[in-house]
Amino acid sequence: MKCRTIRDIEVCNKRVLMRADFNVPLDDGHIIDDARIRAVDPNVHNLLARSSSVILCSHIGLQCGKRVPKLSLRPVALALEGVLGRKVTFVEDCLGPVAQLAADSMMPDEILLLENTRFYPGEQNNDSQMASGLAELADIFVNDAFGSAHRRHASIVGVAERIPAVAGLLLEQELEYLDGFLRAPMRPFVSILGGSKISDKIGLIESLLQRSDRVLIGGGMANTFFRAQGIDVGASLVEIDVLEEADGLLEIS
């Protein structure tokens, strides 16, 4: 599975907007696990070494369309400075004049982190105005958010439709890894999925059921399957709207 990556584009003196996955676990504003932050290191150093400036954006948490101070990406900026060993400028917007001024002021070898993309109502419905606003910040778009790449969001799909777009090194690695296993899996081949919802993973589960000897479902999404089987899950999260689809997946399996 070949895709164009940051290796295939000229980035000298260009601003690069990179969609990362900084959806890290937080406890009272403190980052519990910084693995997803450390994962951007190869991309950022590659781009900076080639005289570009890097603008990072991401979501954190499940909120939609409103500001939640405890889910600000400001702690991520501090963690990034420790991981990358250089200054990271943080702005409390990802759209509008504040973000645009910060981007326009960047010099090569500088890093800017934007505020949580899900603070904006246009993110999750791929609003054209939000996508255009993000695209105006940069010359090139890099998607390295493997955990969110399946979502049709403004900061993922919308931007890629407006400026030249390539994959990041982590996304490339994940695609190559998955491609090898899906084309010629070792047996027994067991797939394990987690997360809170199945509504955005139905197609994936259907595909894995055709290839896997077993599919194991964990996390909050398991509750929807339990409810489809008539099992009481109390007040736990259940996607009522997709119970029929969950039942269908159980029938297939």
pLDDT in tens, the chain (253 residues): 578 999 999 999 999 999 999 999 888 878 999 999 999 999 999 999 999 999 999 999 877 788 898 999 999 999 999 999 999 999 999 999 999 999 999 999 999 999 999 999 999 999 999 999 999 999 999 999 988 888 889 999 999 999 999 999 999 988 888 888 778 888 999 999 988 888 888 888 998 999 899 999 999 999 999 999 999 999 998 999 999 999 999 998 8
What is the predicted pLDDT for the residue at 27? 84
Axis crossing angle, helix 41-49 with helix 169-183, rounded to the nearest 10: 130
> β-pairing, 26-27 with 30-31?
antiparallel
The reported pLDDT for the residue numbered 196 is 84
CATH topology of domain 6-171: Rossmann fold (3.40.50)
Q: What are phi and psi of 7, to 5 degrees?
A: -70, -20
Residue 166, pLDDT score: 97
CB count within 10 Å of CB 198 equals 25
What do you get for the CA distance between the two ends of the chain, in Å?
Answer: 27
The reported pLDDT for the residue numbered 29 is 78
Long-range (24+ apart) CB contacts under 8 A made by 48-52 are 48/108, 48/109, 48/111, 50/11, 50/12, 51/11, 51/12, 51/13, 51/108, 51/109, 52/11, 52/12, 52/13, 52/14, 52/15, 52/16, 52/108, 52/140
Written as one letter, the residue type at 64 is: C
Q: What is the pLDDT of residue 246?
A: 93
If phi > 0 it is left, if psi is from -120 to 50 it is alpha, else beta; for residue 218 that is beta
Domain ranges for the chain = 6-171, 185-252
pLDDT of res. 57:
97
pLDDT of residue 62: 77
What does the pLDDT read at residue 164? 97
Predicted local distance difference test score (pLDDT) of residue 117: 96
Listed residue (144, 24, 15, 121) closest to 76, CA to CA: 24
For the whole model, what pTM was predicted?
0.81
